[in-house]
């Protein structure tokens, strides 16, 4: 399934699930369903359009990431320019995130409107080859048009969770019959359905970006080393700022713990990603 089709599917999923929530909320609060369904469609349309046009600004603002010039960060720009040329991509903007937890992500709506962002912690922890491996991974996401899909997946998790929370607050005041209990059960099941859809359409996304990124950088072992360092650092000091729903954007999940939002931010086990990169290196050398 191509990037455009996956994006359209995720937008449809968000719209459908918000409509389902609207139907349930209407039932729980004795509000005419046509009103809650209409409000859900309008809300979903606003979310979809806002995500498409302004997702990168939202993510960058959330983490206080700042677009940097070549004069400010010559090493980062040199790496990104070299890798973009190899990948036949327009050079994306480069941003630095002012946090010490090492990590990186790509965002934007298309290859010509994209940003790669690296934390200060990653710039301190990783050597130049490892940074090149990480940036190659992010450029692979850009080339495969994963950035908007990742952001939509993050927003699905956040929006569904917030809407559920406020729906439950309102719903508690109304129906207490068996139908109301079934409706409340439906509110709990909707996020799990969203998770399954997200996993189905994004299966192998990180593995694919690892492989494609390693081909771009020509340094699979450097990427493996970077993943190992980042995983170890995050395990010891997970990110305390930002929103857990944005975890799908990062090269390694910067948050730890199991909660409702983390269900929408599953990464493959870092150990397996490292093993695959090491096997890839052996194939290349052989």
Tell me which residues are annotated as active site. Answer: 138
The residue whose two tokens read 């599917």 is 9
Q: How many beta carbons lie within 10 A of that of residue 49, not counting itself?
A: 11
Paired tokens of 202: 């994004």
Provide the edge-to-edge strand list for the sheet that holds 66-67.
66-67, 93-97, 113-119, 104-110
Cα–chain-centroid distance for residue 69? 25
Q: How far apart are CA 176 and CA 120, in angstroms?
A: 52
CA distances from 100 to 95, 231, 239, 242, 254 (A): 15, 14, 9, 13, 11
CB of 276 within 8 A of CB of 209?
no
Phi-psi region of 30 (alpha: psi -120 to 50; beta: other; left: phi over 0): left
CA distances from 179 to 21, 52, 273 (A): 15, 37, 45
């Amino acid at each position: 399934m191509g990037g455009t089709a996956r994006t359209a599917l995720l937008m449809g999923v968000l719209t459908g699930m918000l409509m389902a929530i609207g139907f349930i909320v209407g039932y729980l609060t004795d509000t005419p369903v046509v009103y809650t369904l209409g409000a859900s469609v309008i809300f979903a349309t606003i979310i979809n359009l806002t995500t498409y046009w302004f997702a990168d600004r939202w993510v960058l603002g959330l983490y206080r990431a700042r677009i940097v010039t070549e004069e400010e960060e010559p090493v980062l720009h040199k790496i990104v320019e070299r890798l973009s040329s190899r990948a036949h991509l327009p050079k994306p903007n480069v941003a630095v995130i002012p946090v010490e937890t090492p990590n990186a992500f790509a965002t934007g709506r298309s290859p010509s409107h994209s940003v790669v962002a690296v934390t200060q912690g990653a710039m301190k922890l990783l050597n130049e080859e490892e940074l090149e491996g990480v940036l190659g991974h992010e450029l692979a996401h850009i080339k495969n048009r994963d950035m908007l899909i990742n952001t939509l997946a993050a927003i699905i998790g956040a929006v569904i969770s917030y809407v559920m929370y406020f729906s439950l607050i309102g719903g508690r005041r109304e129906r207490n019959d068996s139908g109301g209990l079934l409706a409340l059960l439906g509110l709990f099941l909707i996020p799990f359905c969203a998770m399954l859809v997200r996993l189905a359409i994004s299966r192998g996304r990180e593995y694919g970006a690892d492989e494609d990124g390693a081909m771009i950088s020509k340094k699979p072992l450097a990427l493996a080393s970077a993943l190992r360092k980042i995983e170890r650092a995050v395990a010891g000091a997970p990110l305390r700022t930002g929103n857990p729903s944005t975890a799908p954007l990062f090269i390694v999940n910067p948050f730890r713990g199991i909660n409702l939002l983390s269900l929408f931010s599953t990464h493959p086990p870092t150990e397996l990603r490292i093993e695959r990169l090491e096997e890839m290196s052996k194939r290349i050398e052989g």
